Amino acid sequence: MRSLLAALLLVFAACSTTDSQTPAPGPTAPAKDVATAKAWIAAGAHVIDVRTEEEFDAAHLDRATNLPIEELPARMAEVEKLVGGDKTARVVVYCASGNRAGKAKLQLDAAGYTQVVNGGGYDDLAP
């Protein structure tokens, strides 16, 4: 009887394991790093504002290029031109809060850019 009980426990334990069935988590947007972004901007980094054109027109950082997050995948050639073809150039992305900038960082990372920082929101970086 004990052997049967032990065998049943092993079967149930094996059936309850879901590691192989659990989907891998997707990439999460990188946290904003305001201090690094400010230092990079002061040192001449390229700055990309991923907010809408209307948000950009209302206020933006000096030297910022507006590439709305919805358009970024189709406008990667503009990013390449902005950095002079140097995918190791420092790039700061920002938006209103850091959420869209985090998504932009993931897209730029995936495109091979190696020094991209999520600067957070405009209010975090504005002088």
Q: Report the catalytic residues.
A: 95
Report residue 68 as tokens.
Answer: 């709305």
Give the residues across from 94 on adjacent strands: 49
Within the chain, what is the greatest distance between any pair of CA atoms?
79
Q: Which two tokens stand for residue 22?
A: 């659990």
CA distance 48 to 67: 7
